[in-house]
Amino acid sequence: MTLTTNIRKTVTELADGRQLIYFDDCETSLATARDIRDERPLGDRAASGTMRLDALTGDWVAIAGHRQNRTFKPPADECPLCPPGSGMVPSEIPATDYDVVVFENRFPSFSVKASPAAHASSCFQERPAAGRCEVVCFTSDHSAHFSSLSKSRARTVIEAWVDRTLALSALPDVEAVFCFENRGQEIGVTLHHPHGQIYAYPYVPPRTAQVLARAHAHHAGTGRLLGADILAQELADGARIVSSGEHWTAYVPFAARWPVEVHLTPHRDVPDLPALTSPERDELAEIYLDLLRRLDGYYVNTDGSAVELPYIAGWHQAPVRQGREVSRLYLQIMSVLRAPGRLKYLAGSESGVGGWVNDVAPERIAARLREV
């Protein structure tokens, strides 16, 4: 299958029946044949666990004990995301090389194969953790980062996000799709190969629900989209703008919670990634790479070298079946690093009652990102 940008998509399966999808760059130098079989003796695919409702808050919590046995910080020559032949262990990706690959997580928090629920009472509610978790490998180069990708490769990743958002949103149990990347051991990364993940939740996650409630209230009072009004006021103020193009603007939010935090938002009102036009996706590849490279220059070590910023980057999209008319797409990038070698810990106030304290003024964050 060839996508609209001439990116080639090939769908196959791993040895345990999990889906694996190749997305080949439009300018790829790789062969298009993707019929190499996964010959590993994997047995049956793992089931996800269950979800339990926190009766105090109304939040769902996935109970996934099987994930305790997932791969944990293997050395580079044992990386399961590198092409086979480059390491000592069989790869999750049987092709000898690849551009971008998406596959179902071997240790999923949510899956089409979910364990049955055992509890059902007024305070103890439990459901199967139905949904899907996918891994997105940005490149076969183990030493790369997203920020080091070419514009063409970044564009392929964007197309993969779009494709998977559409496919996962069509699943009957899915209520929200979240594409994200964790980078850096400070974030808790257990595989250092450049990759991200996609979670397809069987419920609307708490932050998404909170933002949606605010968006509904704003729209009811003004007739306008909350995200659009925030962008307009940030552009008018200018103090927290990092960069801006024809279709996108990056800014530090007025009430940033993290010592480094940036939002990247389209100028047009769109609910999710599939709603972006081809020109908007093209510029996104450019401005996102520029933003990530700025972030990698944000901190400098005492020897003058740049710090590779640990971060979480996540796409906030409209829920699948509700609130789409008031929702507005944006990317949030946040880092726990408050200085080289110093982390922001979510201690008593943040973890206990959700009362956030930021030691860095948002205007200062934006000024530094403009500078670099």
Residues 6+ apart with CB under 8 A from 47: 66, 111, 113, 114, 115
Handedness of CA 252, 258, 260, 261 (dihedral sign): negative
- HSE (CB half, 13 Å, CA atoms) of 331? 26
Place of tokens 């003058």: 304
Domain tally for the chain?
2
- DSSP 8-state symbol, 114: B
Same domain for 137 and 278, yes or no, is no
Cβ neighbours of residue 61 closer than 8 Å, sequence gap 6 or more: 51, 52, 53, 54
- pLDDT over 70 (residue 89): no
Same domain, residue pair 189 and 84 = yes
Q: What is the mean pLDDT of the segment spanning 13-32?
A: 90
E-strand stretches of the chain = 8-13, 19-24, 50-53, 60-63, 100-104, 126-128, 132-137, 176-183, 195-201, 241-244, 248-251, 260-266, 311-316, 330-335, 337-339, 342-343
**What are the helix (H) ranges across the chain?**
151-169, 206-222, 226-237, 278-295, 362-371
Residue 2 lies inside a defined structural domain of this protein: no
The answer to whether residues 256 and 309 belong to one domain is: yes
Quickly state the pLDDT bin for 77 (edges 50, 70, 90). confident
**CATH value at residue 97:** 3.30.428.10
The edge-to-edge listing of strands for the beta sheet with 100-104 is: 8-13, 19-24, 100-104, 132-137, 195-201, 176-183, 311-316, 330-335, 260-266, 248-251, 241-244
Spatial separation of the C-alpha atoms in residues 249 and 245, rounded to whole Å: 6
pLDDT of residue 43: 84
Tell me the pLDDT tens digit for each residue of 157-190: 999 999 999 999 999 999 999 999 999 999 989 8
347 and 248, same structural domain? yes
- Say which of 195, 218, 263, 316 is annotated catalytic: 195
Last-in-domain residue among 178, 203, 228: 203
For residues 79 and 219, membership in a common domain is answered with no
pLDDT given for residue 160 in this prediction: 98
Tell me the backbone φ, ψ of residue 165, rounded to 5 degrees: -60, -45
Q: State whether 197 and 212 are in the same domain.
A: no
Same domain, 309 and 196: no
- The larger pLDDT score, comparing residue 232 to residue 48, is at 232
Angle at which helix 226-237 crosses helix 206-222, to 10 degrees, equals 80
Q: Is residue 3 part of a domain?
A: no
Claim to verify: residue 211 and residue 199 sit in the same structural domain: no
Q: CA-based Rg of the chain, rounded to a whole angstrom?
A: 21
Q: Is the pLDDT of residue 239 over 60?
A: yes
Helix axes 278-295, 362-371, angle to 10 degrees: 100
Q: 32: helix, coil or strand?
A: coil
Mean pLDDT on 262-287: 98
H or E element, residue 124: none
Q: Please say if 195 is a catalytic residue.
A: yes
**Token couple for 209:** 């629900």
Q: What percent of the chain has pLDDT over 90?
A: 80
Give the pLDDT of residue 71.
Answer: 65
Domain identity same for 50 and 127: yes
Mean pLDDT over residues 53-74, rounded?
A: 83
| The pLDDT value given to residue 3 | 58
pLDDT at 6 over 90: no
Task: Mark which of 146, 172, 203 sits at the end of a domain.
Answer: 203
Pairing status of strand 132-137 against strand 8-13: unpaired
232 and 341 fall within a common domain: yes
Q: Is residue 147 predicted with pLDDT exceeding 80?
A: yes
First to last CA, the chain: 41
Question: With bands split at pLDDT 50, 70 and 90, how would you rate the model's confidence at 70?
Answer: low
Are 198 and 221 contained in the same domain? no
Q: Tell me the residue range of the domain where 45 lies.
A: 8-203
Rounded CA-CA distance 189/316 in Å is 21
Burial of 69 (0-12, 13-18, 19+ CB in 10 A): exposed
The pLDDT of 286-307, averaged and rounded, is 96
Whether the per-residue pLDDT at 1 is higher than 90: the answer is no
Q: CB of 175 within 8 A of CB of 202?
A: yes
Average pLDDT, the chain: 93
pLDDT on residue 124:
95
